[in-house]
Amino acid sequence: MKLYEQPAHVLHDMLVNKEITALQLTEAVLARIDEVEGDVKAYLTITHDEAIAQAKAVDEKIAKGEDISFLEGIPGAIKDNICTKGVKTTCASQILKNFVPPYNATVMEKLNAENPVILGKVNLDEFAMGGSTENSSFGVTHNPWNLDCVPGGSSGGSAAAVAAGTAIWALGSDTGGSIRQPASFCGVVGMKPTYGRVSRYGLVAYASSLDQIGPLTKDVTDCAHILNIIAGRDEMDSTSVDAAVPDYTKALVKDVKGLKIGLPKEYFVKGMDPEVEGAVKAAVKELEAQGAEVVEISLPHTDYAISTYYLIAPAEAATNLARYDGVSYGERAEDAVDLVDMMTKTRSQYFGEEVKRRIMIGNYALSAGYYDAYYLKALKVRRLVKEDYDKAFEKVDVIICPTAPSVAYKIGEHISNPLEMYLQDACTVPLNLAGLPGISLPCGYSSSKMPIGMQIIGKALDEETLLRVAYTYEQSQSYHEDRAQLGGK
Ligand code: GLN
């Protein structure tokens, strides 16, 4: 395997054993970027010189005989809605196309303390609204398994970079599936931690009661290591949970004996690609063979999750995005006659179609007269969705279902029909509504040779069991060792 194809834990050992230098590794990944980025288009900003300088500093440390941390010298990419001090953070929006944050997100502070090599910022749907990166105002990212297909979204740049070997690891954000679904479409591992497990400070807000940052990696081991780094209470985010952070790598054991897996019947119904269903059910059989017990469960309010999500998320987005008014942040329209005209022109000119659609839906749902019928009702249904999980988790330890109803589809296939796009989120949004953790990992291929992802859902703050089940399955297969052979055009 080439260096850029290796997971971080393998590269870490190679660095420690002095088989490679951080500079060699960084140059290998930068050369890979030169080779394939023109086709994949995952990056919005490449911090080439900083990456080289970071790698050299790590090599000096190693030369002095100092110990290095897990991620030290390992090149990764950051979704472009996570604030990076001094480096543009655009949210793939025209309105923030020149925005350079004066501070780091907490996750960046935590990462930087480990001295990784940061390669740059990667593409997303504008303000993380979408599931394909087609809503990016800087162009679509292509799926490394088939360049004609979408990489998923909104963290499509993160997933595509990890799959293409143009990053060893990446951070993404997940409001309704934006880490798990692109991980599934690109054949990599992606985890949305429990709401509050990871600080949101410095994550540009889309829907604050749903957003969460998490890792996208080449395997489950790397996922556990990165979660160790980014998890924990943060004074700067009052919604971050004040609970001890376990060492997640201790959960990397191949043992599911006696563990109860719930299979929700509502997730294996209409609209599901039979190849996806087949692969996920086969994966569950494998876990059964490893000693887990499988129980059919019911999550009766699943059908309402999409409508609920597409009221709550836009309502919060409408509020969060009110700050882009041409005054404090970002671009400002020039030919305005007064303040209101300036704000109207700025927002009309610099927000994309999908963002405007959601601001309108959100403001409608929140407006006097409709609030009770839409927003308040959605909050009530959200609680019912959560109670479904509470009941299920009285009987089972984890729940398994597909991450997405299909494999990656062709660029342009669904984007002109917003409702069709929203329906793709059926398997991922319920978790965000309930605040629960979920991980997606590869479990097979379609006949068109596109990766299929299985989703494991856990109890709140029980990422350890998720990792244990994911690791047990991963170690019984070799999907995590497969790499996308770029092609398709
Ligand atoms: N596809 C969903 C949406 O468009 C999820 C996005 C996300 O998780 N950021 O809202």
Q: What is the reported pLDDT for 329?
A: 85
**Whether residue 248 is found in the same domain as residue 336:** no
Q: What is the reported pLDDT for 181?
A: 98
**Whether residue 185 is found in the same domain as residue 242:** yes
156 alpha carbon – ligand 1 mean position (Å): 11
Q: Is 471 within a domain? A: no
**Whether residue 212 is found in the same domain as residue 353:** no
Query: Known catalytic residue: 56?
Result: no
Which of 124, 129, 192, 355 gets mutated to test ligand 1 (max ligand atoms within 8 A of its CB)?
A: 129
Query: Does the beta carbon of 178 lie inside 6 Å of ligand 1?
Result: yes
Query: Known catalytic residue: 391?
Result: no
Q: Is 450 within a domain? A: no
Q: Is 92 within a domain? A: yes
Q: Is 401 within a domain? A: no
**Whether residue 213 is found in the same domain as residue 314:** no
Query: Does the beta carbon of 176 lie inside 6 Å of ligand 1?
Result: yes
Q: Is 451 within a domain? A: no
Q: Which of 340, 355, 380 is the last residue of a domain?
A: 380
Q: What is the CATH number of the domain that holds 104?
A: 3.90.1300.10
Q: Is 267 within a domain? A: no
Which of 178, 356, 423 gets mutated to test ligand 1 (max ligand atoms within 8 A of its CB)?
A: 178
**Whether residue 237 is found in the same domain as residue 328:** no
Q: Among the options 79, 110, 192, 386, which is catalytic?
A: 79
**Whether residue 243 is found in the same domain as residue 162:** yes
**Whether residue 33 is found in the same domain as residue 137:** yes
Q: Is 238 within a domain? A: yes
Residues of the domain holding 231 = 3-259+477-481
**Whether residue 82 is found in the same domain as residue 134:** yes
How many angstroms from the chain centroid is the CA of residue 104? Answer: 19
Neighbours of 27 (CB within 10 A): 16
Domain count, the chain: 2
Please tell me the residue having the least CA distance from ligand 1 atom 5: 176
Query: Does the beta carbon of 124 lie inside 6 Å of ligand 1?
Result: no
**Whether residue 252 is found in the same domain as residue 307:** no
The pair of structure tokens assigned to 358 is: 């959601």
**Whether residue 247 is found in the same domain as residue 309:** no
**Whether residue 246 is found in the same domain as residue 322:** no
Nearest atom in ligand 1 to 179's CA? 8
Whether the full predicted model's pTM is greater than 0.95, yes or no, is: yes
Per-residue confidence in pLDDT tens, the chain, 489 aa: 899 999 999 999 999 999 999 999 999 999 999 999 999 999 999 999 999 999 999 999 999 999 999 999 999 999 999 999 999 999 999 999 999 999 999 999 999 999 999 999 999 999 999 999 999 999 999 999 999 999 999 999 999 999 999 999 999 999 999 999 999 999 999 999 999 999 999 999 999 999 999 999 999 999 999 999 999 999 999 999 999 999 999 999 999 999 999 999 988 767 899 999 999 999 999 999 999 999 999 999 999 999 999 999 999 999 999 999 999 889 999 999 999 999 999 999 999 999 999 999 999 999 999 999 999 999 999 999 999 999 999 999 999 999 999 999 999 999 999 999 999 999 999 999 999 999 999 999 999 999 999 999 999 999 999 999 999 999 999 999 999 998 544
Query: Known catalytic residue: 79?
Result: yes
424 alpha carbon – ligand 1 mean position (Å): 10
Query: Does the beta carbon of 190 lie inside 6 Å of ligand 1?
Result: no
**Whether residue 80 is found in the same domain as residue 214:** yes
Q: Is 273 within a domain? A: no
Query: Does the beta carbon of 172 lie inside 6 Å of ligand 1?
Result: no
Q: Which of 319, 353, 380 is the last residue of a domain?
A: 380
Q: Among the options 132, 137, 154, 406, which is catalytic?
A: 154
Q: Which of 337, 356, 380 is the last residue of a domain?
A: 380
Please tell me the residue having the least CA distance from ligand 1 atom 4: 130
